[in-house]
Every structure is written in structure tokens, then in C-alpha cells.
Amino acid sequence: MDLRPGFPQVVDDVTVRLVATIVLIVGIVALVFGAWWLYAVLAVDFVLRSIFGPRLSPLAQVVLRLIRPAVPAQPRPTAGPPKRFVASIGAVLTTAATGFALVATATGSSSAATAVFAIGAVMVVFPALEAVAGLCIGCVVFAQLIRLGWLPERVCLECADINRRVGLPQVARS
């Protein structure tokens, strides 16, 4: 088992959307049934995925080994760095939800319960947009951070020219 940190530079968008579908389902179950412990499960998966990529993520492995082979869609390469950013956001949000859930359970705090519900709603809406419409809000934020200069421009160039990383012929630029 490879325990070195790292996220692929290129990922399959179909696989990403399938993982988002599982996150969506788990998020709905957690929110509707108050199964807040599921946020801890998601947090662990997001942390593993953001550090190690899909190879140590249980959700990604389920998709890669069981679900993706059954989906006939051709692979669609997409940039990995924004997806790593999104996994990191998921890690922060679900870790926060887990913390708020523990506080709400231990103290009966309604404000902590409200925070869990609010984060849970985000953890349903954003994966739903990715899974159903292919709209990655975290990727939009990532691109904006590059435009603002908060992330290195070279990341933007790498993401903009995915052909270079997947070995396709280069397109001439004027």
C-alpha cells in the first residue's frame, strides 16, 4: 500500500461525479435522519482523499472498483488540483460538522445543532450540483483564487492545458 501523500494531476470526471453521488447520498441520510456520526465517516474519507488522493479513500475505492467499471461512459480527464482543493473543503466542513454534532449531543446546544444542519445542507447541495449537473462549486472558487493571485498561476496554466498532462497533441496557441 502506497502511503506517500499525493493527488493525481488528472482525474476522471465520471469517477468524480460518482464519488459526489455517494457523498450526496450519505449527506442526505445524515441530514434527514440526524445520523450525525456519518459526518465523521465523511471527514475521514475527505482527509484521506485530500492527502493521498483516491488510493486511500474508501469512497473512491468503492467507486473505482465496483461502480465505475459498470458505467459505460468514456473517461473524461479533468484537472486534479481543483478536486484536491474540493476534498480539502469537504474535510474541513465535515470535521466541523462532527465537532458541532459532538457539542450538540453533549450539551444540547441548539446553536451547535443548527450549525450541523447548516453544514449538512451544504454537504447536500454542493455534491448534488457536482453529481447531477457537473458543476463543481469548489472548482469555481479554486479558479477565482488563482485569478486573485492567492494560488500560484502555474496551477492555473496546468489546469488550463490538460492535454499536456494526458499526452494528447498540443493545440497551437496564437
What angle is formed at CA 115 by the lines to CA 97 and CA 148, rounded to 5 degrees? 80
Q: Return the pLDDT at 106.
A: 97
Express each pLDDT in 84-104 by its tens digit: 999 999 999 999 999 999 999
Helix%, strand%, coil% for the chain, nearest 5: 75, 5, 20
How far is the C-alpha of 12 from the C-alpha of 78, rounded, in Å?
Answer: 6
Express each pLDDT in 4-57 by its tens digit: 778 888 899 999 999 999 999 999 999 999 999 999 999 999 999 999 999 999
Domain coordinates of the chain in residue numbers? 10-136
Q: Is the pLDDT of residue 70 over 80?
A: yes
How far is the C-alpha of 81 from the C-alpha of 90, rounded, in Å?
Answer: 14
Q: Is the pLDDT of residue 109 over 80?
A: yes
What pTM was computed for the model? 0.87
Q: Is the pLDDT of residue 164 over 80?
A: no
Q: Which of 45-54, 59-68, 99-108, 142-151 has the lowest mean pLDDT?
A: 142-151
